[in-house]
Structure 1
Amino acid sequence: MHTARQSMSSLIPAVFAVLRCLPLRLLHLLGAGVGWLAWWLSPGLRKRTLENLALAFPQGVPSGLARRATVDAGRALLELPWLWSRPIEDVAARVTEQEGYERVEAVRAEGRAILLLTPHLGCFEAAAQHYGTRYPITVLYRRPKLDVLAPIMESGRLRGLMKAAPADASGVRQMLKALKRGEAVGMLPDQVPQFGEGVWAPFFGRPAYSMTLAARMAEVKDVHVFMAYAARLPGARYRLVIRDLGRPLSGTPEQRVAQINAELEALIRECPDQYLWSYNRYKRPAGVPPPGAVVSADA
């Protein structure tokens, strides 16, 4: 086992070094192939994808959606070496279309801080890096399980006006300071948190252990909440989509988290082909009791 880990630790940087030299268009093409292979070779991935889609589309999953989403997940994986190694300006230049960005500019002009919530939808790396070429943004990250990936990921996110905050108490303090300076903070609100960092709330009709951090950050004075994603387009391009939350969160922590989850559902339905349906969203982290009564987003 130890030898296998050592081999993996030496192999991954070598693979990244090769992949980052390839054109993004080719990486997307290769990634589609990786996605196809994963679909056919991994019964577990296939099962989880189909189960999650059945929850989101109880009236019937659109034909071919599961395979299309798995193919796009392969693109998401193979584009990372390019996104993390190229100049941040090159990444931002790939964002050739925008929708809703004028609201971000308007909120910034009012001197308010911005909370950008980006689920596992499209290319969230491109969304954050595009913003980071213009304005300061602090992004929350969780250290990868493979230690060898940590410096690669961190160097890819500490560029331009971007800063990275670890998913711990020091990272929370870092993000709070950024918001109080009137800057932006970005995070993946559909990431399963650890014990004590979440509550059970509905997500596509099923209880999901969901982070409370986004709801807490939204309570900071003069913070405006946006939902965002960068959809992949033909020709290795991206379309940045910004959705204004439009209303403050309210109620108990469980109710506020449920409101965020409802907004995430609406966002994902806009571009379901590019959501990571294979993500184990409904797992119960160690130490977390099973869900009890789950509140409604309309409560």
Structure 2
Amino acid sequence: MIKIAFDLLARLPLPLLHGLGTLLGWAVYGLSPSYRLKIEQHARIAFPQDELARIRAIRGSVSHAGMALFELPFLWGRPTMHGAAACTQIKNWEVIEQAQAQGKGVIFLTPHMGSFESTAQVFSTRAPITVLYRPNRKAEIQHIIEASRARNNVALAPTTLAGVKILLKALKRGEAVGMLPDQVPAEGEGVWANMFGQPAYTMTLPGRLQQATGAAIVLAIGVRKPNGEGFILELYPGPERLSADPVQAAGEVNQAMESLIMKHPEQYYWGYERYKPPKSNPRGQL
């Protein structure tokens, strides 16, 4: 049933999908007090004094969260060249070329904002990339994820030890790997580091991969254009060298994510459980 609905939605134009997504985003915001509280709490952490900026960020985030869900059939249900790549501009590709010139691979980092699902697809039209992902417990959804995300020049690596080995091999081949470093890791796979001044359990994987390979770090955002016109893949140089100390390195990654988020705060998913702690380690819980 999910697959049928997914295939039907994939035939719709992106402006219509974004319009439907906006309606869904506001419906969820209006009907879910817990979601509404969470998004307002998180935005207040980033904008403690600037109420106007906080309101703009919340309003944009509500709409963009819905768009993210409804654009998945467009991104996953179409070939890359007829979906994401057909409506995406690339800004600052020279950042990738400079990183590739070092010959040690590229660690491609993007936060939960904008069309993060489109970034790897667009990148793959020019070079191979291996993407870290968290497997879904529901078999039908997991099948859709694997069938949709894995495509020409895009390989998948699960958030397991085997997945880390896949990432290392890709970097040692001089290729790119991609991940969302603001994704809350499993217990034992992260450290506490501030994000917008609030302790957040943060993955150590970017630092470990760079220490092991010397790979360059590139920051990316899949910015949505207005009116469903498509996307802009914005690329920026990341930290040249993360600290060997895991906590300090995690803080450096979080600072890089903050800088990206503040470029387009209305497209960040402030309702994402960024400050959620591991079950047995409640430090930093809101």
Scaled by the length of structure 2, the TM-score of the pair is 0.94
Q: Which deviates more from structure 2 when the two are superposed, residues 14-23 or residues 29-38?
A: 14-23
Question: Alignment partner for residue 77 of structure 1, among 69, 76, 80?
Answer: 69
Residue 178 of structure 2 corresponds to which residue in structure 1?
Answer: 186
1: CA distance, partners of 2:282 / 2:172: 34
2:45 to 42, 48, 55: 55
Structure 2 gap ranges (5+): none
Q: CA deviation at 1:154?
A: 1.1
Candidates 225, 231, 238, aligned match of 1:238: 231
Aligned: 1:42 with 2:21? no
Per mean C-alpha deviation after superposition, the further-off stretch among 233-242 and 222-231 is 233-242
1:148 equivalent to 2:119? Answer no
* Pair 1:217-2:214 in alignment: no
Could you tell me which of 251, 257, 260 is aligned with 1:258? 251
Worse overlay, 18-27 or 179-188: 18-27
User: Partner amino acid for 2:64?
Assistant: D
Q: Which runs of 5+ in 1 are unaligned?
A: 1-9, 293-299
Cα distance in 2, alignment partners of residues 216 and 236 from structure 1: 38
Provide the C-alpha distance between the structure 2 equivalents of 1:262 and 1:109, rounded to a whole number of angstroms: 25
Counterpart in the other structure of 2:4: 14
Distance 1:286 1:189, change over 3 A: same
- Tell me, in whole angstroms, the C-alpha distance in 1 between the residues paired with 2:282 and 2:270: 24
Name the CA distance, whole Å, in 1 between partners of 2:243 and 2:249. 6
2:268 aligned partner: 275
- Residues 141, 187 of structure 1: 8 Å contact kept: yes
1:24 counterpart = 2:3? no
Instruction: Report the secondary structure of 1:135's partner residue.
Output: coil
1:230 alignment partner, SS class:
strand
Q: 2:223, 2:232 within 8 Å by CA — same for their partners in 1? A: yes
- Is 1:142–1:167's contact at 8 Å kept on the other side of the alignment? yes
Which whole-Å CA distance do the structure 1 matches of 2:103 and 2:191 have between them? 32
Alpha-carbon separation, structure 1, partners of 2:121 and 2:248: 31
Tell me the alpha carbon deviations over residues 203-224 of structure 1, each in whole angstroms, 9 at most, x when there is no partner: 1111111111111112133300
Question: Which residue of structure 2 lines up, in the alignment, with residue 248 of structure 1?
Answer: 241
d(CA) in 1 for partners of 2:213, 2:134 = 26
- Taking structure 1 as the reference length, the TM-score comes to 0.90
Measured after TM superposition, the shift of residue 117 of structure 1 is 0.5
* Equivalent residues of 2:239, 2:252 under 8 A apart: no
Contact 2:24 2:66 in 1 (8 A): yes
Q: 1:107 aligns to what?
A: 99
Structure 1 residue aligned with 2:157: 165
Q: Secondary structure at the match of 1:120?
A: coil
Q: Is 1:197 matched up with 2:182? A: no
1:190 Cα deviation from its structure 2 partner = 0.2
Change (3 A) 1:246 1:190: closer
1:186-210 deviation digits (Å, cap 9, x = unpaired): 0000000111100011011111111
**SS state at 1:220 partner:** helix
- Letter matched to residue 99 of structure 1: K
Percentage of matched positions with identical amino acids: 43
2:123 alignment partner AA: Y
Is the Cα–Cα contact under 8 Å of residues 112 and 224 in structure 1 kept in the other structure? yes
Q: SS in structure 1 opposite 2:212?
A: coil
Q: Give the aligned residue type for 2:17.
A: L
Q: CA deviation at 1:105?
A: 1.4
Preserved contact between residue 199 and residue 212 of structure 1 (Cα < 8 Å): yes
Q: Using the alignment, how far apart are the partners of 1:211 and 1:222 within structure 2?
A: 18
Counterpart check, 1:208 vs 2:169: no
Distance 1:248 1:220 in 2: 12
Q: How many residues are aligned here? A: 281
**Structure 2 equivalent of residue 139 of structure 1:** 131
Q: Structure 1 residue 251: deviation in Å?
A: 4.3
Question: Of the candidates 92, 96, 114, which is equivalent to residue 122 of structure 1?
Answer: 114
